Structure 1
Amino acid sequence: MAHVFMSSGEMIADRRFDYGRDLELRGDLAGAADLFTQAIELAPEFASAWFALGDIRERQGDKAGAIEAFRRAKATDGADYLGADLRLLRLTGDQLAAMSPHYVTTLYDQYASKFEQSLVGELGYRGPALLFDAVCEATSQRMRFHRAVDLGCGTGLAAQAFQKCVEEFIGIDLSAEMIKRAQATGLYKALETSDAVDGLRQQSDASADLVLAADMMIYIHDLAPLFMEVSRVLKTGGLFAFTAETHNGDGVTLGAGLRFAQSEAHLRGLLGTAGLVVEHIDNASIRTEGEMPVPSLVMVASKA
């Protein structure tokens, strides 16, 4: 997904930026960098140009120059709509920190209109189907749930996968544009534009017998508060089914795709602390990237 464009407010600077993008698409990185630099000279607070220059410098192997440019992008875009912090984390190796909610929201607001075509059609996304199969495996009883909370509901793909066995869906997503598309499915009793943890805090204790989280944990580095809220909202015996990108090391990492990946042991530990018992786990791939499967986990846990 391309980053959002933020105008400099200067027409000539914006034009230089557009010309630079054209050269970049043609593979002329040096020419693109020169035009982005010219745009910055005309508009020194041009966050998009700083960010694009940082990206070019990183691809050219100029790590120090890339760090400088991304820091300037962050300084001129205080809310970090562009995600400069993530690029800096990858380059500097600093301690992981939360993604800017403004970055995630803007990313999906601009992506909403082509979300399903891109994710399902081009990247082979199959998270909801894998979740459905995993829940079938985890429960020996006939699959029937009264109330399900769909975290990071997006356009409603998980609700579509589970619609025949859930009476009532509650959807939560950061992106208002995604919420509009979820509303159009007619599958949700209620929808809320909110961070997942804050959205769960609005739900009553023991009010759901299923919580779904399909491909949304990739934007959260510290899952402990989320898992605790899921445990509180679930009825005893209720299920928490989710997907997560994973890796072979320990703890949490930020991958090349600027998404967080969690080790299996780390996830098991967080679930146990929250009073959730692992019932089923699959090593799978929920999407492809660069024509390669992305290592993922599909997990189902129950409230003890």
Structure 2
Amino acid sequence: MLPSQLSSGDVIADRRADYAKMLAESGEPASAAELMEQALELVPRWAAGWFTLATYREKAGDAQGAIAALNEVLALDEGDVFGARLKLAVLGGAEVPDRPPSLYVERLFDDYADRFETSLVEKLGYTVPGKLAALIAETAGIPNHFRLAVDLGCGTGLLGPEIRARVDRLEGYDLSKGMLAKAAEKSVYDYLGQADLSLEPDLSGVFEEGLAAGRADLVTAADVLMYLGNLQGVMAIVRKLSTDDAIFAFSVEDAQQPDGYVLRDSLRFAHSEAYVREILAAHGFTVLDLTRSVIRMDGGKPVHGILFITHKSA
């Protein structure tokens, strides 16, 4: 049994976990935590159970107990498929990491793929694809048409239909195979492949097919960079992918602070305008246009973002 299995493998422990879930959903997280503790006495190597216990303890106001449970998760699950390090950082139990674990992001979006568009677009009012495509069209001094567009973190392909008419060839890359399968159903992309943008910027290692350098005259990343903290690595990838004079169009969540980036309770990163400009300049890109906008709702509150159109200097 893998320690990250969602089932404990023990019928009694699973039953107690089910009862704990009912208590948590009824607004009794402290009682839920006690029952999860009993379940974990039977299966102490159940990583998913420890993560659930951390959630209940946090909701019950026991931050230190949640931190202890998350450290148990990390001891059992080296790949950190549950994103325990991110949660530890939010709770003050660890330093903020540069990026989330790849296994966590892949699992998150594989699980989310079937309901992604309904949840994000219809329920949360997600607007980045249309707004980013409009900004590309409206920015003065850039081409009206592109030879090859590479859509990084394409997800289910929401941006593809918005820019398809402006490109000869459209390629989409994402870490989640579940999301790529949904994007394929749209029949908009000429090629779809798996890619991990958190890897070091050797394109043969990042992209499953080894995407050649210097091919794309348009690179896009809509609602992707909030799953990365430090943007140095992904900007090195963009620089290698793009031709001289290429356009890089992307969005970030707005940190609304003078500099740097921050990890939010949502486990997504938000970046300041100054930080993004600094990273862009370090990799030979200049900002042609930007706009601030509400990009989605989260917990009934607006999430503010910044959309950038940038140009790679020859």
TM class by shorter chain equals over 0.9
Corresponding residue SS for 1:247: coil
Distance across 2 between alignment mates of 1:142 and 1:219: 29
- Confirm or deny that 1:270 pairs with 2:270: no
The 1:74/1:141 distance shift into structure 2, 3 A limit, reads: closer
Distance across 1 between alignment mates of 2:93 and 2:256: 18
- Confirm or deny that 1:122 pairs with 2:86: no
Distance across 1 between alignment mates of 2:160 and 2:123: 21
Distance across 1 between alignment mates of 2:112 and 2:248: 27
Q: Provide the residue aligned with 2:166 in structure 1.
A: 165
Is contact 1:200-1:230 (8 Å) kept? no
Q: Provide the residue aligned with 2:28 in structure 1.
A: 28
Corresponding residue SS for 2:190: strand
1:123-272 equivalent positions in 2, closer than 5 A: 123-140=124-141, 143-196=144-197, 198-199=206-207, 202-249=210-257, 250-272=259-281
Q: Report percent identity of matched pairs.
A: 38
**TM-score, length basis structure 1:** 0.94
AA partner of residue 267 (structure 1) = V
Question: Could you report, residue by residue, the CA deviation over 1:55-84 in whole angstroms, capped at 9, with x for unpaired residues?
Answer: 121222222111101111221222211111
Distance across 1 between alignment mates of 2:86 and 2:114: 24
Question: Could you report, residue by residue, the CA deviation over 1:130-157 in whole angstroms, capped at 9, with x for unpaired residues?
Answer: 1111112224456211110010011110
**TM-score, length basis structure 2:** 0.91
- Confirm or deny that 1:280 pairs with 2:281: no
Q: CA RMSD in A?
A: 1.7
In the TM superposition, residue 275 of structure 1 has moved relative to its aligned partner by 0.2
Is contact 2:67-2:93 (8 Å) kept? no
Unaligned runs of 5+ in 1: none
Distance across 1 between alignment mates of 2:239 and 2:213: 9
In the TM superposition, residue 163 of structure 1 has moved relative to its aligned partner by 1.3
Tell me the matched-pair count.
301
Distance across 2 between alignment mates of 1:76 and 1:190: 38
Corresponding residue SS for 1:168: strand
Q: Provide the residue aligned with 2:308 in structure 1.
A: 299
Which segment drifts farther, 147-156 or 22-31? 22-31
Distance across 2 between alignment mates of 1:141 and 1:241: 11
AA partner of residue 263 (structure 2) = L
Q: Provide the residue aligned with 2:62 in structure 1.
A: 62
AA partner of residue 120 (structure 1) = V
Corresponding residue SS for 1:68: helix
AA partner of residue 294 (structure 2) = S
Question: Could you report, residue by residue, the CA deviation over 1:244-300 in whole angstroms, capped at 9, with x for unpaired residues?
Answer: 012122211101111011111000000000000100111112111112110211001
Unaligned runs of 5+ in 2: none
Distance across 1 between alignment mates of 2:158 and 2:184: 12
Structure 1's consecutive aligned runs of 4 or more residues displaced over 6 angstroms after TM superposition are: none
In the TM superposition, residue 201 of structure 1 has moved relative to its aligned partner by 9.4
Is contact 2:83-2:104 (8 Å) kept? yes
Which segment drifts farther, 292-301 or 199-208? 199-208
